[in-house]
Structure 1
């Protein structure tokens, strides 16, 4: 059932794109506001995450075996679509690239800040520093918007995929307090530890194996954040990178080609794991 849901979602994304996914989070904002008066921090966060997850688990049991599993499949598809990352990733990259080609570093930086994984604490002072941060953000956003969600969806079902997205959503809300943010960040780091290392290994398999493995090996048992791990391992696995002797007039073209290569590496990784899941269906 999970595999059919993943294939259905992939087809839907190819037809309509991420921008057409109906992902409404107003209910979460309302719920967050209503539980804000609860003094116990852990209880407050538990309610925000466990209540929606419990609803998914209950509906999953109710729909089991109804009409040959068709309602359950549609439910799985709906939860998976909702659990995917927010925003139109490709549009942000296109707008960033356009601003960069115009030489508008400020506008390019503003577009780059819309990407998940972009280091908001650092202010790039030149195009090279900005590109390095964007490349890192591209790898992480490909991970958090799709791979991490599908990993937990396959491993523990739609409730786990939703739980991951709720941790991410709550962590990005302006109403979230500093104390809540600390716990949410710990939860996200825990949920991303294993899938991030799996994707980093996949980068090596579908990219430059020797360089990719060398980059990921030191971090396999460490607590390196997913964004840093994927940024380093993804860059190492790229078949096309910026040459060391690249001149200023050629930098923009080579950097754009590198970002395109990064997105293709992510796409190949997705195809690789779809093939693996398809093979597992035969056993």
Structure 2
């Protein structure tokens, strides 16, 4: 059912991305999680035990546990299977996105086409969350952000959906939302690090298959099994190294952002490989859901 759920969720993604970003964000915003967090804080915030890792565990793991128990409680049968698939699709669509990196970079590419270098720098800084000193650094910064944002918004969610079912996808997204405002979380930060480490290795292998394997392997062979190398760090290194064979895929007119355009193409090709990975895992019965 994991493969069927993913196919339906991706069809929804394709439909939403043809419309406005606001329409898509309605299905992936963290509004309910913020309200839930405020409700818990108002109810138990003054309690001495509601602090640190225990408060984070209740906040993040409780919804995940409820989803897990709900799926585990469903009996075999057509209606139960139909409900399971429908609920899994809802959770997946909620956890994916809310916007593809290609769509997020429309303003950046538009500014480049219009020779608005300052506007391009501003769009690049907004997308990557940091600034660069010159254009070469800016283009590399955007490429690295393309890989990490694709991982955060899509690949990691899909990988944990396969490994732990809908509860795994939800857990990853809740950690991502929580850490956006609480980066020093005593429980959430190390848990997210572990999840990124695992998902990053799976995605790195997919990038090697989709791009320049020789260059990628030589770049990351010492980092792949290193526990101190984070998942996002590995993704950046692998993605940049694997761009090699498609770097000439753009026309001369687009040379100024050729690396960025090829990075987007590489993430899309990698997505196909990850989809094939889900298909094989599902057909072999090795998925959790």
Query: TM-score normalized by structure 1?
Result: 0.85
* Cα distance in 2, alignment partners of residues 110 and 45 from structure 1: 35
Q: How do residues 27-106 of structure 1 correspond to structure 2 at under 5 angstroms?
A: 27-36=32-41, 37=45, 39-65=50-76, 67=79, 69-106=81-118
* Contact map agreement 1:153 1:159 (CA 8 A) in 2: yes
Q: What is the DSSP-based 3-state SS (H/G/I as helix, E as strand, rest coil) of the residue aligned with 2:229?
A: coil
Q: How do residues 108-123 of structure 1 correspond to structure 2 at under 5 angstroms?
A: 108-115=120-127, 118-120=128-130, 123=131
Residue 152 (structure 1) aligned with residue 160 (structure 2): yes
Residue 276 (structure 1) aligned with residue 284 (structure 2): no
Residue 231 (structure 1) aligned with residue 243 (structure 2): no
Deviates further, 147-156 or 39-48: 39-48
Deviates further, 255-264 or 14-23: 14-23
1:164 aligned residue = 172
Question: What is the CA-CA distance between 1:64 and the residue it aligns to?
Answer: 3.8
2:287 aligned residue = none
Which structure would you say has the larger RCO, counting Cα contacts within 8 Å and 6 or more residues apart? 2
2:2 aligned residue = 2
* Cα distance in 1, alignment partners of residues 80 and 59 from structure 2: 33
Root mean square deviation of aligned Cα: 2.3
**Structure 1: gaps spanning 5 or more residues:** 243-249
CA shift in 2, pair 1:88/1:279, >3 Å: closer
Query: TM-score normalized by structure 2?
Result: 0.83
* Contact map agreement 2:146 2:263 (CA 8 A) in 1: yes
* Contact map agreement 1:56 1:158 (CA 8 A) in 2: yes
Q: How do residues 112-261 of structure 1 correspond to structure 2 at under 5 angstroms?
A: 112-115=124-127, 118-120=128-130, 123-173=131-181, 176=182, 179-180=184-185, 183-222=187-226, 223-238=228-243, 239-241=245-247, 253-261=254-262
**Structure 2: gaps spanning 5 or more residues:** 285-289
Question: What is the CA-CA distance between 1:168 and the residue it aligns to?
Answer: 0.4
Question: What is the CA-CA distance between 1:139 and the residue it aligns to?
Answer: 0.6
